[in-house]
Homo-oligomer: A and B are copies of this chain.
Amino acid sequence: MNTTRLEAFSDGVLAIIITIMVLELRVPHGTEWSSLTPLWPKFLSYLLSFVYIGIYWNNHHHMLHVTQQVNGAILWANLHLLFWLSLVPFVTAWMGENHFAAVPTSLYGVVMLAAAIAYLILQRTIIRSQGDQSVLAEAVGNDKKGKISAFCYLLAIPAAFVHPAISGGLYAAVALIWLLPDKRIERVVAAESGSEGMRE
């Protein structure tokens, strides 16, 4: 079974998640510039989550690009990832509406950590089915970025109770780390292409 429909379904879910978050930016009652002021925390948390979902979409795109075949385990590992990402609009709204209060900011980290772990599981599941010599296995290597991100979330969850700004800084830092798509895969693919008959 090839990856077309898995990608299409994931694209659909991610496109909806990224778009329904904007529905939380409720239209203000006034018509002055100042009417927008109370929306800033919501806008900031929307922006952060938009970037995160964008990162997941990009990395998912790269990963599936070097996947030749999907099986039942991969389908479920993918749905597991989508489940955690589907909770992002909820935690984004809770955090934004409460001006980055401690508990919502901490919960944001919990959901992000769960999504990161789900992504790792999906990655492992694909590598297992493709073989250790596959392009993906080679490209991912020891996955330093993934480990740093998980570590940052682990720090951010309790740090929100010291000061939510620490957690916010950590979330922004993780976003910056990933903002560039996975060069590792791009590099390895570029090196290999031409030699083997790759999917696509």
Residues of A participating in the B interface, judged by any CB pair closer than 8 Å: 1-2, 5, 7-9, 11-20, 22-25, 27-28, 31-33, 35-36, 47, 50, 54, 57-58, 61-62, 65, 71-72, 75-76, 79, 82-83, 86-87, 89-90, 93-94, 97-98, 101-104, 107, 179-181, 183, 186, 189, 200
Contacts and interface: CB of A to CB of B under 8 A. Distances in A.
Given A15-B16, A103-B32, A86 B50 contact: yes
Q: Which 10 A-B pairs have the closest CB atoms?
A: A12-B15, A72-B181, A31-B101, A16-B19, A54-B79, A27-B93, A13-B15, A31-B98, A9-B11, A27-B94
Nearest to A75: B58
Nearest to A21: B86
A24 B82 CA distance: 17
A72 B86 contact: no
B5 A16 contact: no
Nearest to A17: B19
Contacts of A72: 58, 180-181, 183, 186
Chain A interface, >50% SS class? helix
Contacts of A23: 20, 89
A104 B54 CA distance: 28
A19 B65 contact: no
Question: So how many copies of this chain end up in the complex?
Answer: 4
Contacts of A58: 72, 75-76, 79
Q: Which of A12, A23, A50 has the most CB of B within 10 A?
A: A12
B22 A15 contact: no
Contacts of A186: 71-72
Contacts of A28: 94
A46 to B, nearest CB: 9
Nearest to A79: B54
Contacts of A89: 22-23
A75 to B, nearest CB: 5
Contacts of A54: 76, 79
